[in-house]
Amino acid sequence: MVVGLQWGDEGKGKIVDVLSENFDIITRFQGGSNAGHTVIIGDAVFKFRLMPTGALRGKKVVIGNGVVVDPFVLLQELESLRSAGFNIDLLVSDRAHFITPYHIQIDQLQENAKGNQKIGTTKRGIGPTYADKISRIGVRASDLLTSLDNPQWKILAETSTSRIQELHHEKIEDSTLKSLDAYSETMKQIAPFVGDTSEYLNSAIDAGKRILFEGAQGTLLDIDHGSYPFVTSSNCVSAAASTGTGVAPTKLDSVLGITKAYMTRVGAGPFPTELQDATGEALQARGGEFGTVTGRPRRCGWLDLVALKYAVRLNGAKYLAVTKIDVLTGLNPLKVCVGYEIEGTELKTIPASSVEYSKAIPIYEELSGWSELPKVSDSDAYSSIPTTMLDFLKKIESWTSSKVAIISQGPDRADTILVPDVLPDISIDV
């Protein structure tokens, strides 16, 4: 399983792509089209929002019941991958909740109503769709395919209309109504891909197939464990792979957590190590830190080992992939956060309250930087890693008690180093 250990955009898409050859099936289990996973292969750039990244390797791709699905986005991704020559073998859970144009309008209205308390959502309808799921008024693939006239759909339409009118004093936008017209047509095209994914995945496990669970967002955006309320509306930690696919926890295997060599965050919320200076700007420029979905600039800062340790604990991440290590090249000294000071008290973990957390002043330790990257074309690239980079990685390992298994030093598939003898039964295909 691959999960993000920060506020998203850790490079999950790239790492899943590199690992996919070792697996038969790649499945998403939470989130929706708020995700943006970029994979770069030579000159070709692929951006995924819903489709599991394994689609590029011709693998069976599954969208589990824990995902909220925007059928327009799904169809558009299907079509663009097909027109790029990929043969897509997709299965979407009949129990997955579907995002409707109402949800998108409500997401936008809720954000606007918050004034300066905005979360900075991706405005893709994620929160309202999960809210309706929990309130038991949502619509699932199976409801939609039965008929768009069924009672569940009617309840949703009525509730959404009154919420938009009474709570926000707005009328349903023309664009919402227009897309509702197109909705049933789109559902018809998605229908052949809908089925019982839990049954499928469990049978595949029984038949000895290997499944890679692809996380979206990141642990610090998790609805329970993240910096609430500045979070997304799903559980993003590894445990969600089980509820989000219907594969029991006893059948899940190792967890690989992805962390950048520094931190980024899109949207609002506490970020103790944020750098609002030239170093922050340098990280943003070198790392190309602009949102895949919204194009918003990502806030940047030093690696936070307190937050990383917290995320590793929540996910049980025995293995780590450290990405974007190239972005730190030439910076000297490097800083890593090893504690917080909140109103005179030192803290070694993340407080529950975001009000408290936003007062955290990072306590830093300095490490020496490196000026060159190892040559990934060398068959033994790992042994040519500069000692200062090794020290940086060892610092991460000693803080988290996890093993660094993959080092990523560029966006391309090829810019990847597999640390020898760490991940059992895994090779990387670049």
Given the rule CB under 6 A, which residues bind ligand GDP?
4, 8-14, 36-38, 40, 287-288, 292, 323-324, 326-327, 408-411, 415
Distance from chain centroid for Cα 407: 19
Member of 35, 240, 325, 407 binding ligand IMO (CB under 6 A): 35
Question: What H or E segment, with its residue span, contains residue 200?
Answer: helix 197-206
The one segment of 39-47, 121-129, 170-178, 271-279 that binds ligand IMO by CB under 6 A: 121-129
CB of 388 to Mg ion, least distance (A): 29
CB of 271 to Mg ion, least distance (A): 17
Amino acid at 152: Q
Query: By rule CB under 6 A, what string of x and - marks binding of each residue 201-220 to ligand IMO?
Result: ---------------xxx--
Q: Which residue in this structure is represented by tokens 């029984």?
A: 206
CB of 55 to ligand GDP, least distance (A): 14
Member of 26, 40, 221, 239 binding ligand IMO (CB under 6 A): 221
User: Phi and psi dihedrals of 339, rounded to 5?
Assistant: 180, 165
Q: Choose between 8 and 244: whose C-beta lies nearer to ligand IMO.
A: 8
Q: Choose between 95 and 296: whose C-beta lies nearer to ligand GDP.
A: 296
CB of 430 to ligand GDP, least distance (A): 12
Contact between 270 and ligand IMO per CB under 6 A: no
8-state DSSP, 5: S
In sequence order, the 6+-apart residues with CB closer than 8 A to the CB of 398 are none
DSSP 232-275: -SS--STTHHHHTTT--GGG----EEEEESSEEE-SSS--TTB-
Select from Mg ion, ligand GDP, ligand IMO, none the partner in contact with residue 120, using the beta carbon and a kind-dependent cut-off of 5 to 8 Å: ligand IMO
The token pair at 157 is: 């339409």
CB of 92 to ligand GDP, least distance (A): 20
- Quick check: helix, strand or coil at residue 252? coil
Gap between the Cα atoms of 18 and 41, Å rounded: 10
Contact between 124 and ligand IMO per CB under 6 A: yes
Select from ligand GDP, Mg ion, ligand IMO, none the partner in contact with residue 288, using the beta carbon and a kind-dependent cut-off of 5 to 8 Å: ligand GDP
User: Which residues 3-32 are close enough to bind ligand IMO by CB under 6 A?
Assistant: 4, 7-9
Number of alpha carbons in the 13 Å side-chain half-sphere of residue 23 = 30
Select from Mg ion, ligand IMO, ligand GDP, none the partner in contact with residue 34, using the beta carbon and a kind-dependent cut-off of 5 to 8 Å: ligand IMO
Contact between 328 and ligand IMO per CB under 6 A: no
CB of 53 to Mg ion, least distance (A): 11
Select from ligand IMO, ligand GDP, Mg ion, none the partner in contact with residue 110, using the beta carbon and a kind-dependent cut-off of 5 to 8 Å: none
The token pair at 202 is: 């469990």
Q: Which residue in this structure is represented by tokens 């759909």?
A: 153
In sequence order, the 6+-apart residues with CB closer than 8 A to the CB of 303 are 259, 260, 261, 262, 263, 273, 335, 336, 337, 396
Gap between the Cα atoms of 198 and 65, Å rounded: 8
SS3 of the chain: helix, strand, coil, percent, to 5? 40, 20, 40
Amino acid at 1: M
DSSP 313-377: HHHT--EEEEE-GGGGTT--SEEEEEEEEETTEEESS--S-HHHHTTPEEEEEEE---S----TT
Gap between the Cα atoms of 123 and 129, Å rounded: 11
Query: By rule CB under 5 A, what string of x and - marks binding of each residue 14-53 to Mg ion?
Result: ----------------------x-----------------
Contact between 128 and ligand IMO per CB under 6 A: no
Length of the chain: 430
Active site residues: 9, 37
User: Which residues 154-183 are close enough to bind ligand IMO by CB under 6 A?
Assistant: none
Select from ligand IMO, ligand GDP, Mg ion, none the partner in contact with residue 14, using the beta carbon and a kind-dependent cut-off of 5 to 8 Å: ligand GDP
By C-alpha distance, which of 71, 112, 106 is closest to 92? 71
Select from ligand GDP, Mg ion, ligand IMO, none the partner in contact with residue 195, using the beta carbon and a kind-dependent cut-off of 5 to 8 Å: none
Contact between 272 and Mg ion per CB under 5 A: no
Gap between the Cα atoms of 120 and 124, Å rounded: 11
User: Which residues 249-268 are close enough to bind ligand IMO by CB under 6 A?
Assistant: 266-267
By CB under 6 A, name the binding residues for ligand IMO: 4, 7-9, 34-37, 119-122, 124, 126-127, 216-218, 221, 232-233, 266-267, 292
